[in-house]
Chain A
Amino acid sequence: MLKVESITQIFGGLTALENVSFSVAPHSITGVIGPNGAGKTTLFNIVTGLYTQTEGKVYLGDKNISFFEPEVLARLGLVRTFQNVELFGQMSVLENVMVGLHTKSKSGIFSCAFKLPGQIKEEKRIKEKAYQWLEFTGLADSADVTACNLPFGKGRLLEISRAMAVEPQIILMDEPAAGLNSRETAGLAGLIRKIQELGVTIVLVEHDMELVMDVCESIIVLNLGKKLAHGTPREIQENKAVIAAYLGED
């Protein structure tokens, strides 16, 4: 599904990622873990087209997407969420999700300004569709709330609803559980599984080990920009190098 081949990223004199390769199976849930500064978010930024890697390639299916812009990747069905929740704060919750349906609609400036019949129909369709995605994540009650007034946990859910509206093949979540309480995290685990049931491949960067061990079928461990291990949760828990990286060697 997603294949990363020998990615190296150098910022000035700092090597953030060094020769990282892995692949993600279709319809799977993969976790990317590692101590702070391991290069997890950098890896996400490269895959989603926000950074240009120094070296290496990224494939989506058979397609080489190494230097694609984020807006092109969205059309190909690759989306992400952000560590610091990037909502459209001045817009309503429903409108946020409607932006997620941008690639699923096509009215241009002219037909929007003149409210041509096709545009009115399309507008109705995406409004209904957006509402369905809010029901999927359980946010339908907050549809008319301005996004910046949402509590943090709901903001995370909104980001996921918005990303799902793109109808992605693969969704990358950057620390979806950060800042959530334990009940919200449990809800998130359920939501992640529900997304997988729709046939979407999921990759998540996460520090919450309980969540990672719970939902992930496969885990990639990064440390200081290098891939340390790749395996099932059980293999990772027993991996000596991983334990050393997290707890320090003695």
Chain B
Amino acid sequence: MMIKEKRQIFIFLLFALVVLLVPIFLKGSYFLNVLVFIGINTLLAVALNLLLGYAGQISLGQAAFFGLGAYISGILTTRFPVDPWLALVVAAGCASVLAFVIGFPILKLKGHYLAMATLGFGIIVYIIFNETVDWTGGPSGLSGIPNLRLGPFVFDNDRNNYYLVWMMTLGVMLLSINLSQSRIGRALRAINDSEVAARVMGVNARMMKVQIFTVSAFVSAIAGSLYAHTITFISPASFGFNFSVELLTMVIIGGLGSIYGSFLGATILTMLPEFLRVFRDFDIVIYGLMLILITMFMPAGLIGGIEMSIKIIAEKIKGSAENNA
């Protein structure tokens, strides 16, 4: 057990080191820009993974919390003289309170019904973004959102944004890994495996689901706020149903219940559109196809597939070493 824990800390530190060193070796700004979006999407995927991968509760309305974070931050800083950092905190707080309140009725539902309810929530929020033109600017979007700043340090270029977003992402990843191996993480996984047995063991399943739903909304809203302040322009199109499906695809392709899997899924799905441009609107068909193939042949996602391959190769090497000896 101790060895396992040490190895995990080592893997995380290695991952963090690579993330922090990448900009030094990257000359072009374009690729850094893509990496900023990978960071934001990783945040969102980790948030959904806590809910779907650990507690086993689906949400097709994650884009709504992402959008709420972006719009609350955007509106507060463009329409009122609110500091962007304060706006970020308020946005995350508001989204959490909303998630907590709607979580109680919604999370009573299971399976398809839960998917439909969260889908409905996502669509309602999307319509609000579109129709409250006086506040959100409607379909033409909201522009002129100020950048975050830390003293004289303004997060207005790709390099600075990269560090801003990735410090946040690394933090959330570390906290999520800690959470997954704790009493709370075990209770969540227990609910996923057998809700009845978890309750008989004294796990308050309803409250636990609402709590993790709230955490998930909190992290998604932070991602939304970061998104708004880094690209300074937002429009409803980024927060629609399609994006919720994309997030779901990231989590499942990467691996349910794996934090690094979420990073992998987010990376692939963020880069993929560049290559799928030739298919135009049919890209969602490709996502669907990927989902089907992964769930059929790699139920533990790409990260599970990679772990499995490493194990097989390690055993082969061990086997041939024994043969030679």
Same complex for A and B? Answer yes
Q: Mark A2-20, 1 if CB is under 8 A from B, else 0.
A: 0000000000000000000
Contacts of B189 in A (CB 8 A): 88, 90-91, 95
Interface band, chain A: 35 or more
Bound Cα distance A161, B182 (Å): 20
Taking a contact as CB atoms under 8 Å apart, the answer to whether B175 and A119 are in contact is: no
Bound Cα distance A145, B209 (Å): 27
Which stretch from B87-95, B191-199, B268-276 is at the chain A interface?
A: B191-199
Q: Is B160 part of the binding interface, using a Cβ–Cβ cutoff of 8 Å?
A: no
Smallest Cβ-Cβ distance to A105: which chain B residue: B183
Taking a contact as CB atoms under 8 Å apart, the answer to whether B175 and A113 are in contact is: yes
Q: Mark B177-220, 1 if CB is under 8 A from A, else 0.
A: 01100111111011011101111111111000001100100000
Contact with A86, one of B194, B204, B215 (Cβ below 8 angstroms): B194
Q: Is B78 part of the binding interface, using a Cβ–Cβ cutoff of 8 Å?
A: no
Smallest Cβ-Cβ distance to A99: which chain B residue: B190
Taking a contact as CB atoms under 8 Å apart, the answer to whether A115 and B194 are in contact is: no
Q: Is A187 part of the binding interface, using a Cβ–Cβ cutoff of 8 Å?
A: no
Q: Is B130 part of the binding interface, using a Cβ–Cβ cutoff of 8 Å?
A: no
Taking a contact as CB atoms under 8 Å apart, the answer to whether B193 and A89 are in contact is: yes
Q: Is A126 part of the binding interface, using a Cβ–Cβ cutoff of 8 Å?
A: yes
Q: Is B176 part of the binding interface, using a Cβ–Cβ cutoff of 8 Å?
A: yes
- Interface of chain B: mostly helix, strand, loop or mixed: helix
Bound Cα distance A219, B322 (Å): 60
Contacts of A197 in B (CB 8 A): none
Which stretch from A52-60, A70-78, A201-209 is at the chain B interface?
A: A70-78
25 CB contacts below 8 A, A to B, read A70-B199, A70-B200, A71-B199, A73-B200, A74-B202, A75-B202, A86-B197, A87-B197, A88-B194, A89-B193, A90-B193, A98-B186, A99-B201, A107-B183, A107-B184, A109-B184, A109-B211, A112-B178, A112-B179, A112-B182, A113-B175, A113-B178, A115-B182, A119-B183, A163-B200
**Interface of B toward A, CB cutoff 8 Å:** 1, 175-176, 178-179, 182-187, 189-190, 192-194, 196-205, 211-212, 215
**Interface of A toward B, CB cutoff 8 Å:** 48, 50, 69-71, 73-75, 79-80, 82, 86-91, 95, 98-100, 102-103, 105, 107-109, 112-115, 119, 122-123, 126-127, 162-163, 166
- With A99-B186, A102-B187 given, can you name 20 additional A-B contacts, CB distance below 8 Å? A74-B200, A74-B202, A80-B200, A82-B197, A86-B194, A87-B197, A88-B193, A89-B193, A89-B194, A90-B192, A99-B201, A102-B183, A107-B183, A109-B212, A112-B178, A112-B183, A113-B176, A113-B179, A115-B178, A119-B182
